Amino acid sequence: MSFTEQEAIDKKEGRVMHRGITHGKAILAGFVIAGALVLALPLPSQAQEKSFAGKSQSHADPHYLDNKHDLRIRLDVKWELSMSPYVDADHIKVTVRDGVVTLKGSVEDQSAFDAATSNAIEGGAKKVINLLTIENR
């Protein structure tokens, strides 16, 4: 069987093989992009403290663990909302500050509104501020 006959069989059966110079260019482009990303990232010794609203995020900051806890609560609340059969989490924004969860966005009906609040509490919220609106979709 010749090379072109095998290539025709591969295409017919859905096996697309990249042969020739194009494949080499794609690999080279991938290495160039990866190299640019590595050069763009700072070394750990060059890393500077990040701040959010003027607050330090270093381990020496007494609020560091609180902020970390808020992130965990946010992720847990988003997980609870996404797993709920009653709530469409795509239309809900979740923010957390000192364990207090704020829900913004829209839901389909009152039961989804109530379920979103319950999901936020299940996710670890100390308190829930529900600013959701009810919209018919």
pLDDT band at 25 (very low <50, low <70, confident <90, very high): low
Q: Does domain 51-134 have CATH number 3.30.1340?
A: yes
Reported as a single tens digit per residue, the pLDDT across 47-83 is 444 444 545 455 555 555 556 689 999 999 999 999 9
Least confident of 41-45, 64-68, 108-112: 41-45
Give the dihedral sign, CA 40/45/46/51: positive
Structure confidence at residue 136 as a pLDDT band (50, 70, 90) = confident
| pLDDT of residue 95 exceeding 50 | yes
Give yes or no for residue 1 having a pLDDT over 70: no
Q: How confident is the model at residue 35 (pLDDT cuts 50, 70, 90)?
A: low
> Can you name the residues that pair with 45 across neighbouring β-strands?
none
- Residue 3 binned pLDDT confidence (cut-offs 50, 70, 90): low
Per-residue pLDDT, averaged over 42-51, amounts to 50
The structural domains of the chain, with segments of one domain joined by +, span 3-40, 51-134
